[in-house]
Amino acid sequence: MVPKVVFGKGAFNQICDIISPERNGVAPFIFLVDDVFKNNTSFIEDRIPLSYTDEIIYVSTVEEPKTSQVDEIVAKIRNDYQYVPSGIIGIGGGSILDLSKAVAIMLTNPGSAADYQGWDLVKNKAVFHVGVPTISGTGAEVSRTTVLTGPERKLGINSDFTPFDQVILDPELIKDVPKDQWFYTGMDCYIHCIESLDGTYLNAFSQSYGEKALDLCKEIFLENNLSKEEVDAKLMMASWHGGMSIAYSQVGVAHAMSYGLAYVLGTKHGIGNCIVFDKLEKYYPEGVAVFKKMKEYHNINLPTGVCANVTEEQLDIMTKVALSLEPLWENALGCDWKSKINEDILKELYRSL
**Contacts to its own copies by CB under 8 A:** 1-5, 7-8, 160, 163, 169, 171, 203-205, 207-209, 211-212, 215-216, 230, 233-234, 236-238, 240-241, 248
DSSP letter at 339? G
Tell me how far, at minimum, the Cβ of 25 lies from its own copies, in Å.
Answer: 20
8 A C-beta contact, residue 243 and residue 197: no
Q: How many other C-beta atoms are found inside a 10 Å radius of the C-beta of residue 244?
A: 22
Nearer Cβ to its own copies (103/236): 236
8 A C-beta contact, residue 61 and residue 100: no
Tell me how far, at minimum, the Cβ of 216 lies from its own copies, in Å.
Answer: 6
DSSP letter at 199? S
Tell me how far, at minimum, the Cβ of 9 lies from its own copies, in Å.
Answer: 9
DSSP letter at 66? B
Tell me how far, at minimum, the Cβ of 234 lies from its own copies, in Å.
Answer: 6
Tell me how far, at minimum, the Cβ of 62 lies from its own copies, in Å.
Answer: 31
Q: Phi/psi of residue 321, each to 5°?
A: -60, -45
Rounded-to-integer distance, Cα 23 and Cα 225, Å = 44
8 A C-beta contact, residue 201 and residue 249: yes
Nearer Cβ to its own copies (42/227): 227
Nearer Cβ to its own copies (3/305): 3
Tell me how far, at minimum, the Cβ of 209 lies from its own copies, in Å.
Answer: 8
Nearer Cβ to its own copies (48/88): 88
Neighbouring-strand partners of residue 249: none
Nearer Cβ to its own copies (229/343): 229
Pairing of strands 154-158, 147-149: antiparallel
Burial track 1-31 (b if 16+ CB lie within 10 A, e otherwise): ebeebeeeeebbeebeebbeebbeeebbbbb
Nearer Cβ to its own copies (39/228): 228
Cα angle: 6, vertex 7, 10; to 5 degrees: 105
The distance of Cα 344 from the centroid of its chain, to the nearest Å, equals 29
Tell me how far, at minimum, the Cβ of 168 lies from its own copies, in Å.
Answer: 12
8 A C-beta contact, residue 192 and residue 255: yes
Nearer Cβ to its own copies (244/322): 244
Nearer Cβ to its own copies (95/158): 158
Tell me how far, at minimum, the Cβ of 228 lies from its own copies, in Å.
Answer: 13
Rounded-to-integer distance, Cα 265 and Cα 170, Å = 33
Rounded-to-integer distance, Cα 155 and Cα 147, Å = 5
